């Protein structure tokens, strides 16, 4: 009887973990959550700030005004990355073409970074000092999570990956 109870308890735990894992993966969206829901992180952060109705409306207006810029930049980035892939996978890749495509991808990345910083400053202008501090804390927490998964000494986020022997 003791074995049956232990087996049932173990089965229940395994089933719970499987269900929890499937629920976690179900909410990720296309490509593991990296695409399909742009701005999901900022929306979650803003929801935790306790914005007033007037602030919410101003934030909506700001995000609506910024949306066309970001869509154009995303498309430009896709085009730049595809050009780099095509140039690099050519039967005989031309180093100048590959280099130019690589520089174009880098320039796009810099343009996106500058646009995000501009948007952050505009958003910060709509918040109280306390809300800005909470938003910065949220951003720091997300940075820490990324560093933990891919920072120095990590295994690149792959489960079961092992480090090469030192020696």
Q: What is the pLDDT of residue 5?
A: 62
Please write the tens of the pLDDT for every residue from 131-157: 888 888 887 877 777 777 655 555 554
**Are the C-beta atoms of 79 and 71 separated by less than 8 Å?**
no
Q: What is the pLDDT of residue 147?
A: 75
Of 157, 158, 116, 156, which Cα lies nearest the Cα of 139?
116
Q: What is the pLDDT of residue 27?
A: 45
- Give 10-residue mean pLDDT values along the chain (167 residues): 58 48 44 51 78 89 91 94 94 93 95 92 88 83 72 52 50
Q: What is the pLDDT of residue 38?
A: 53
**Are the C-beta atoms of 29 and 35 separated by less than 8 Å?**
yes
**Are the C-beta atoms of 103 and 84 separated by less than 8 Å?**
no
Q: What is the pLDDT of residue 86?
A: 95
């Amino acid at each position: 009887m003791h074995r049956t109870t232990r087996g049932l308890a173990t089965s229940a735990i395994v089933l719970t973990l499987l269900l929890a894992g499937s629920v976690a993966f179900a909410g990720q969206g296309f490509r593991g959550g990296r695409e399909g829901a742009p701005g999901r992180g900022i929306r979650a952060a803003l929801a935790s700030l306790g914005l007033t109705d007037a602030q919410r409306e101003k934030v909506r207006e700001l995000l609506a005004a910024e949306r066309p810029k970001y869509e154009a930049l995303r498309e430009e980035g896709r085009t730049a990355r595809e050009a780099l892939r095509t140039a690099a996978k050519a039967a005989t890749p031309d180093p100048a073409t590959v280099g130019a495509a690589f520089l174009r991808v880098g320039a796009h990345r810099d343009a996106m970074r500058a646009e995000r910083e501009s948007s952050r400053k505009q958003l910060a202008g709509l918040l109280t000092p306390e809300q800005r501090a909470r938003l910065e804390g949220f951003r720091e927490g997300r940075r820490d999570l990324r560093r933990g998964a891919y920072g120095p000494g990590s295994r690149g986020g792959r489960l079961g990956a092992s480090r090469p022997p030192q020696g």
